């Protein structure tokens, strides 16, 4: 459909800028400006690459928000990640020389092109660059391992809670507020990412809102109690709460929300 890129080619970045973006301590041996990487702009909804497309370039997100997805045998999307500033895209294409996932812009985006051939050639000359590559790929691997652990072991509430905390931290790193931000993705996309249905995501956000952990207004999220979100395992049954309070031998005093939330 909208396969065409929004090539404007106005911007270029040097190696130092690329390393900074990736949070790689560039020894900055290359002050020369001859090593330039081109930028490309994508508009909301455009695809950066599709599944099966021949691989030749990696991308670094300079600004904007994206999602990467797998498409299963019957056309259902499985969201794999929500890349944003400083993330690398396309690494999954190296192995088979074809991208194995699809990347879509969730907002207008500015990406840096890293032609893979050029990159590896440069890596042999500039050691930081090579280390950067290994580091970024390893980091991505660790991120996915954490994701597997989360999908394998955590309750729906815990997944949503950690998702919010992770988002808040990313926004903080990017210099935005970690307390108040806008989700760039739909409930459906969040659900797919977390292995849940959109209804469960919606209900969970409402529940967090009700007990004061966050505030929700459509896609605007306010983080009220980041600590509780970080350690949350499961929510106290809202309808049964009275019964639970009666059962607990707490000398009649009301159980503090924090206690309930931290319950195994």
Residues that bind a copy of itself (CB under 8 A): 70, 72, 74, 76, 78, 80, 91-96, 100-101, 120, 123-124, 130-131, 133-142, 144-149, 151-153, 192-195, 264
The answer to the question of residue 126 lying near DNA (CB under 7 A) is: no
178 binding partner (options a copy of itself, DNA, none; Cβ < 5 to 8 Å by kind): none
Contact (Cβ atoms closer than 8 angstroms) between residue 168 and residue 223: yes
Site for DNA in 189-228 (CB under 7 A): 191, 195-203, 205-206, 216, 218-219
Q: Taking the complex as a whole, how short is the minimal distance between the CB of residue 94 and a copy of itself, in angstroms?
A: 4
Contact characters 154-193, DNA, x per CB under 7 A = -xxx-------------------------x--xxx--x--
Residues in the chain: 264
Contact (Cβ atoms closer than 8 angstroms) between residue 228 and residue 235: no
CA–CA separation, 156 and 55 (whole Å): 35
Q: Taking the complex as a whole, how short is the minimal distance between the CB of residue 253 and DNA, in angstroms?
A: 24
Q: What order do you get walking across the sheet with 102-105 strand by strand?
A: 47-49, 102-105, 66-71, 77-81
Residue 185 phi/psi, 5° resolution?
A: -120, 160
- Choose between 155 and 177: whose C-beta lies nearer to DNA: 155
- Choose between 145 and 240: whose C-beta lies nearer to a copy of itself: 145
Q: Taking the complex as a whole, how short is the minimal distance between the CB of residue 149 and a copy of itself, in angstroms?
A: 4
- End-to-end, the C-alpha distance of the chain in Å comes to 49
Q: What order do you get walking across the sheet with 57-63 strand by strand?
A: 12-14, 36-42, 109-115, 57-63, 88-89
Half-sphere exposure of 253 (CA within 13 A, CB side): 6
11 binding partner (options a copy of itself, DNA, none; Cβ < 5 to 8 Å by kind): none
Residue 12 bridge partners (DSSP): 38
Binding site for DNA (CB under 7 A): 155-157, 183, 186-188, 191, 195-203, 205-206, 216, 218-219, 234, 237
């Amino acid at each position: 459909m909208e396969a065409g890129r929004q090539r404007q080619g106005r911007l270029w970045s040097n190696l130092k800028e690329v390393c900074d973006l990736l949070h790689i301590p560039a020894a900055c041996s290359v002050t020369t400006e001859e090593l330039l990487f081109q930028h490309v702009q994508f508009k909301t909804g455009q695809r950066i690459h599709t599944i099966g497309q021949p691989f030749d370039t990696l991308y670094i997100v300079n600004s904007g928000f994206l999602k990467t997805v797998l498409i299963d045998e019957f056309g259902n999307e499985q969201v794999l990640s929500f890349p944003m500033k400083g993330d690398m895209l396309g690494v999954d294409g190296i192995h088979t020389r074809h991208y194995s996932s699809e990347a879509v812009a969730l907002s207008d985006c500015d990406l840096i092109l890293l032609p893979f051939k050029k990159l590896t050639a440069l890596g042999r000359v500039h050691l930081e660059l090579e280390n950067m590559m290994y580091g970024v790929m390893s980091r991505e691997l660790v991120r996915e391992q954490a994701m597997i652990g989360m999908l394998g072991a955590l309750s729906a509430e815990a997944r949503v809670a950690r998702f919010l905390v992770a988002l808040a931290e990313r926004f903080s790193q990017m210099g935005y507020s970690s307390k108040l931000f806008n989700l760039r993705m739909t409930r459906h996309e969040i659900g797919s990412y977390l292995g849940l249905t959109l209804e469960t995501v919606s209900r969970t956000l409402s529940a967090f809102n009700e007990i004061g952990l966050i505030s929700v207004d459509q896609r605007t999220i306010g983080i009220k109690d980041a600590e509780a979100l970080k350690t949350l395992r499961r929510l106290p049954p809202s309808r049964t709460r009275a019964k639970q309070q009666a059962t607990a031998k707490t000398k009649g005093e009301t159980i503090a929300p924090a206690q309930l939330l931290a319950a195994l």
